[in-house]
Amino acid sequence: MTWDCVIVGAGPAGLSAAVYMGRFRRKVLLVDSGRGRWSYGQRNENYLGFPRGVSARRLHHLGVAQAERFGVELCADEVERVTHDGELYTLTVARGEPLRARTVIWAAGVRDLWPDFPGARRLVGKQLFWCIVCDGWRTLDRRVVLLGNDDHAAGTVLQFLTYTPHLTMVVDPDHDELSARALQKLRQDGVRLVRGRVRRAVVRENELREVLLADGERLEADLLFSLYGSRPNTAAIAELGVDLARNGHVRINEKNQTNLETFFAAGDVTNKHGHQVASAVHEGAQAAQAANHVLYPERQQLPALARDG
């Protein structure tokens, strides 16, 4: 069995691509390992069409149903390695038989660097967040503890002043890369700076109450933000020769095509647009249109028109 397209990742990017590819009447397999940014407990409140917000998981289930309606097949597995023999891709998966495909859309997202105190991952999307664009609004006049170690994080902390003056930045002394300039600016603008490591977060009745540090200090808090960043999921495509940017994200052109003509990427794994559901859906749609285009057989293409002169 050779698939017209294997899409890797069933987050908003991969699902959007799947809906388009299904409607282009392509033979499409969507492979997903089930651990993306969509899989936490958060509610997306800025995605158009849901005035009360929509949970990221519900959006995923709606997308799966929509893709299945157009004949897309789904497979729960993890792609471990992708190779190309000049014509077809072979995708080695953790559990099943290798997959063969004429085109691939890589929509594998990123791995967030959450803090490593016990139970941290259970708080994601409810008491623990990472993104001011997504969740800055929640912090209106609330007490916010932000974990970050560099000037990029410090810049984001300053942006939170739009929402609340009650900001504490916790810097890990073992990874402190804050410049003197950033330190001075944070202090000037009333941000409290604490050096330490989080040992535990105290949650009662679903509300964050306190953040406890390793040295025993207790920080009162309503919300916790991790500004440690993320890493794109590209290990499985390392051998392919796909161009990556310096930060490891997949480089794409305006059609979401990589340097390989039949390999496309979409969503957070690229860094063309902000890491948002809306951008992921857009990029998935773009990648699908471009992948569909390269799949047309010769009989469905006009011969190139001869240029005058």
Ligand X SMILES: Cc1cc2nc3c(=O)[nH]c(=O)nc-3n(C[C@H](O)[C@H](O)[C@H](O)COP(=O)(O)OP(=O)(O)OC[C@H]3O[C@@H](n4cnc5c(N)ncnc54)[C@H](O)[C@@H]3O)c2cc1C
Residues at the contact surface with ligand X, assessed by CB under 6 A: 8-14, 31-38, 40, 42, 44-47, 56, 78-79, 107-109, 124-125, 129, 131, 134-135, 233, 236, 267-268, 275-278, 280
Pairwise CA distance, residues 277 & 187, whole Å: 34
Q: Which is nearer to ligand X, 142 or 195 (CB)?
A: 142
User: And the tokens for 237?
Assistant: 């495509």
State in angstroms the smallest separation of the CB of 75 from ligand X: 9
* Residue 249, SS3 per DSSP: coil
Give SS3 for 86: coil
Q: Which of 9/196 has CB closer to ligand X?
A: 9
How does DSSP assign 215-240, residue by residue?
TS-EEE-SEEEE-S-EEE--GGGGGG
Of the pair 33, 164, the CB lying nearest ligand X is at: 33
CB of 257 to ligand X, least distance (A): 17
Provide the minimum distance between the beta carbon of 277 and ligand X in the complex, in angstroms, as a whole number.
Answer: 4
Smaller CB separation from ligand X, 24 or 40? 40
The least CB distance from residue 273 to ligand X, in Å, is 10
**Do residues 15 and 69 make contact, with C-beta atoms less than 8 angstroms apart?**
no
- Sequence-separated contacts (24+) of 249-256 with Cβ below 8 Å: 250/106, 252/283, 254/286, 255/286, 255/287, 255/289, 255/290, 256/283, 256/286, 256/287, 256/290
Q: How far is the CB of 235 from ligand X (least distance, A)?
A: 8
Let me know: does 124 contact 225? Beta carbons within 8 Å.
Answer: no
Q: Which residue has the tokens 């792609």?
A: 79
Shortest distance, position 97 Cβ to ligand X, whole Å: 15
C-beta closer to ligand X: residue 119 or 190: 119
Residue 240 and residue 128: Cα distance in Å, rounded? Answer: 36
DSSP-derived letter for residue 259 is S
Q: Which is nearer to ligand X, 21 or 186 (CB)?
A: 21
